[in-house]
Structure 1
Amino acid sequence: MGTALVLLFLLALGAVPGAMLPQRSLNAGKVDEYLAQHPTVGPWLDRLEMFDVFSSFWFTAIYVLLFVSLVGCLTPRMIEHVRTLGAVPVPAPRNLARLPKHAAGTAAGDPEQVAATVTRRLRGWRTVTRPDGDGVTVSAEKGYLREFGNIVFHVALLGLLAAVAVGKLVGYEGNVIVIADGGPGFCSASPAAFDSFRAGNTVDGTSLNPICIRVNDFEAKYLSSGQALSYAADIDYQTGADLADGTWQPYRLEVNHPLRVGGDRIYLQGHGYAPTFTVRFPDGQQRSQTVQWRPDVQTTLLSSGVVRIDPPAGTYPDPVQRRKHQIAIQGLLAPTKELDGTLLTSSSPEARDPAVAIDIYRGDTGLDTGRPQSIFDLDVRMIEQGRLIKVNRKNLSAGQSVTLEDGSVITFDGVTPFVNLQVSHDPAQIWVLVSAMAMMAGLLVSLLVRRRRVWARIEPATDRPGTVNVELGGLARTDNSGWGDEFERLTKHLLADTGSPGDRKTR
């Protein structure tokens, strides 16, 4: 058991870097940022898998060794406990006066009658009566459930470790941003539908539980400080047979009240705003786009992001010219406008008076290069190479427009809330809960139940015919706390109303 305790300590110690350092499974961007800021230490930490702690070789090794150690500890203890279940209490020691707790007294009756009375009053104790010369001894013991509680606790801990491991193998977790108020929604048919997706080692993405969700409405309540008090989304979802017949089921999704369907749990994790921009090109054709922007200040939801708009095909028939006339809009979004001169900030997370401060670029935004790029930031290399040229900078409120030198008109139409949903699939979660509850139950039993042994030697009194001498001895097998008072109460109970009051001495 000492080895298991050391390994458990190492497991807890090994989890510390996972809490202190950014993890790729949660935010790969933060890891890249950390590596850029720490060019010396970062690569060494990466080699030691400090950014993938919970899937690293060393953390897995500790986990497996702890599992093996617990099995090795529990197997002999369980065998020994099964043997003790049918064991009878040990015979009384020859000299009960040498035990830590001792009492003596007299009682009316013969030894067999008094022994029967003592045994009857030891309800809940495992007892056995044995002849002892001219008298009788009664051996009693209780607290066998203490070891049972210990075993249950450790077996449940073993089950918890196994359930967590199974969940990591066969579970998956995906995050997706969905535009509210009639946005396109999403369907979890494949990992490509998610903005980020983390799969277990045995998940290849071909057998995800299909579910479609659309967000009809979003409601948020805030304190005067800007802190979110509550938020909820009215959604419709399809799964199973609903996908075939086109039926949508309504549900009100709230924080800590996930939608549970088909073995999946859909959580509402966060929200923000997606601005809508409309670009009318010189030939009169126009395009609109609504893209989520990243909240940078959580108390006011001041956000930043980028919108990239490709001209309609007929506006610039030449692909090269079309690529040179793509529009990129980068800037800040304030749900409730507050200006310090021309500096835009937000005074509230509620969309009372939305406004944007934007830089407008024309040129190659990289939409057709095939290279992945951030949806929140422009590629700085494009600007440095002159492929993207800033043509204007403007503050706009909802409904306002700005006209570029070529006649293109850019309009800020307003904002639409978006929600961040997490789809989590972990079939072993119920076993994690069961194991955790069993651990608590086993721990309570092992703490509350105490092992106790009591012996009574009953012999005929030679100087008083019709009476017997009763000698009691007690021993605490585990915890001595409170055993003195408990033994005194037990002595009074066993010798109460046994006939002649006699003399009683307790130590």
Structure 2
Amino acid sequence: MRTALTLLMVLAVAAIPGALLPQRPNQPFEVEAWIEQRPTLGGLYDAVGLFDVYASPWFAAIYLLLFVSLIGCIVPRTRVYWRALRAQPPRTPRNLGRLPASARATSSRPAAEVLEQAAARLRSRRFRVVVREDSVAAERGYLREAGNLVFHLSLVVMLVGLAVGALGGYRGSVVLPVGQSFANTISQYDDITAGGRFDPTSLPPFAITVEEFVAEFETGPVQQGAARVFRADLQVTEAPGEQPYDYTLEVNRPLVVEGVDVHLIQHGYAPVVTVRDGNGDVAFSGAVPFLPQDGNFTSAGAIKAPDARPEQLAFQGFFLPTAAVDELGPRSLFPDAFAPELFLNAWYGPPREESGVPENVYSLDVTGLEQMTTEDGSDSLRLRLAPGESVELPDGRGSITMDGWERWVKLQISDTPGLGVTLGSVVAAVLGLCLSLFVRPRRIWVRARTTPDGGTAVEVGGLDRADARTGLEEDVEELAGHLGEEHDTARTVPVGSGEDGS
């Protein structure tokens, strides 16, 4: 048990880096940026697996050792508990007055009748009772150890459920501007992490279209800019050929399709732009998601037109939903789009061959590109566009137009096969813990002897088998009072207490 508790504490400590550091399965670009900013420390962390804690060998080793330790704790305790269930309550001690709580009483009834009454009284209180020659032995509280075993067994089942979910489950995300659709296939995900037993062909064939996204923010003087409403109106088709239906997706109201959960986890803005190249052809047209950087949704992103000719074009900058330019530079004053503007730097370069290497769509790799400058070449070219505005690029390289803007939503699609098992084991663990905390394992003995004057002397003694329990003395006194006409209490003083009688 001590080993299991130690491993449980070690597991909790080992999970801390997973909460403090970006994790590669969920935040791959943040991990790369972290390593770039701190190459020495980042390389060390990456080597020991701190950027993917829950899939690292050392975390799995702790996990498995805890699993083995819990089983090693449960098996011997189960054997002991089984023997205790089959055993009778222990024999009555010779001197009941030395127990932690004891009481004496006298009765005019025969001793056999007193013992029979004591046995009936104790059975009504759910004690297991054995009547012997001149005494009654009773015991209860067997569910306390059962609660302990249920708690530990639930931890094992929970670990199994987590392992099943980690091996067979998956979690992916996709960014969808309003009006665009998503089909549940591997190629449609922006990023996805899955367990070793995950089968991509088992994905439910549903499709989602984002019809509208509504975001409302507080405009009053109190908590100005605070989020009030986030709601995405979806059209869902669960299988090809089936009739689509509407669903309103909210932060705490996920969509569930064939056991797969679809959560709304983020939103932002996507400026709609059209880029024309030096030949006058449309090299790019559409909505480009930009990532929020602060509470006022100052959003950063990149617009890429690799097919532009004779030179490829690229732009990097900020979308400001409520734009203002002051001594602090361009910034957004409010998260809603009251005065949207697009601030960009422009780049150009020779056409680049496709390498097949994945690239971050939210940032620009300027390798092989040159930044455009003003006509006199004294400064970098800075573009400022409002919806409907267009800017001609210098030296006849083309133009860029801000057609407008859309909102985008980020959806998380996940399936955790062992979730029901894990949840059930957590509930069972709580119930087992409650049993172990609140059930009182207690033993009570009653002895009745005939006195020389023909009466019956009754002795009652009690013992709690768990520390910090209350009510034992009261129960013993109440039972003695019920069995006899007169009673008094006697409580043994521990040896060495310094009180009289020590």
TM-score w.r.t. length of structure 2: 0.90
Q: Which amino acid aligns with 2:263?
A: Y
Q: Is 2:435 aligned against 1:477?
A: no
Which residue does 2:293 correspond to in 1?
A: 296
Distance 1:371 1:44, change over 3 A: closer
Equivalent residues, number: 477
Cα distance in structure 2, aligned partners of 1:324 and 1:380? 18
In the alignment, structure 2 segments of 5+ residues that lack a partner are 375-380, 492-502
Distance 1:61 1:341, change over 3 A: closer
Q: Would you say the 8 A contact 2:317–2:343 is kept in 1?
A: yes
State the 1:98 CA deviation: 1.7
Deviations 1:36-91, CA, capped at 9 Å, x for gaps: 22232332222222222111111111111110111111011112212222322111
Q: Which amino acid aligns with 1:293?
A: F
Q: Is 2:391 aligned against 1:402?
A: yes
Among 198, 201, 204, the alignment partner of 1:203 is 198
Q: Would you say the 8 A contact 1:212–1:238 is kept in 2?
A: yes
Q: Which amino acid aligns with 2:257?
A: V
Q: Which amino acid aligns with 2:461?
A: G
Q: Would you say the 8 A contact 2:279–2:309 is kept in 1?
A: no
Which residue does 2:499 correspond to in 1?
A: none
Which residue does 1:9 correspond to in 2?
A: 9
Which residue does 2:127 correspond to in 1?
A: 125
Identical aligned pairs, as a percentage? 38
TM-score w.r.t. length of structure 1: 0.89
State the 1:150 CA deviation: 0.3
Q: Secondary structure at the match of 1:324?
A: coil
Aligned counterparts, 1:105-504, within 5 A: 105-122=105-122, 123=124, 124-131=126-133, 136-180=134-178, 182=179, 184-190=180-186, 192-223=187-218, 224-239=223-238, 242-245=239-242, 247-280=243-276, 285-286=281-282, 287-297=284-294, 299-309=295-305, 323-340=309-326, 343-364=329-350, 366=352, 368-383=354-369, 386=370, 389=372, 392-405=381-394, 406=396, 408-463=398-453, 465=454, 467-482=455-470, 485-496=471-482, 498=483, 501-504=485-488
Q: Which amino acid aligns with 2:132?
A: R
State the 1:253 CA deviation: 0.8
Which residue does 2:76 correspond to in 1?
A: 76
Distance 1:365 1:373, change over 3 A: farther
Cα distance in structure 2, aligned partners of 1:403 and 1:309? 15
Cα distance in structure 2, aligned partners of 1:342 and 1:4? 56
Cα distance in structure 2, aligned partners of 1:296 and 1:367? 32
Q: Secondary structure at the match of 1:88?
A: coil
Cα distance in structure 2, aligned partners of 1:415 and 1:393? 20
Q: Would you say the 8 A contact 2:306–2:352 is kept in 1?
A: no
Distance 1:419 1:54, change over 3 A: same
Q: Secondary structure at the match of 1:32?
A: helix
Distance 1:263 1:76, change over 3 A: same
Q: Which amino acid aligns with 2:299?
A: S
Q: CA RMSD in A?
A: 2.1
Q: Would you say the 8 A contact 2:461–2:476 is kept in 1?
A: no
Q: Would you say the 8 A contact 1:308–1:365 is kept in 2?
A: no
State the 1:126 CA deviation: 0.8
Q: Would you say the 8 A contact 1:121–1:494 is kept in 2?
A: no
Q: Secondary structure at the match of 2:409?
A: strand
Q: Which amino acid aligns with 2:473?
A: F
State the 1:21 CA deviation: 2.3
Q: Secondary structure at the match of 1:381?
A: coil
Q: Would you say the 8 A contact 2:92–2:136 is kept in 1?
A: yes
Which residue does 1:316 correspond to in 2?
A: none
Q: Would you say the 8 A contact 1:362–1:390 is kept in 2?
A: no
Deviations 1:241-264, CA, capped at 9 Å, x for gaps: x3233x212111111221112111
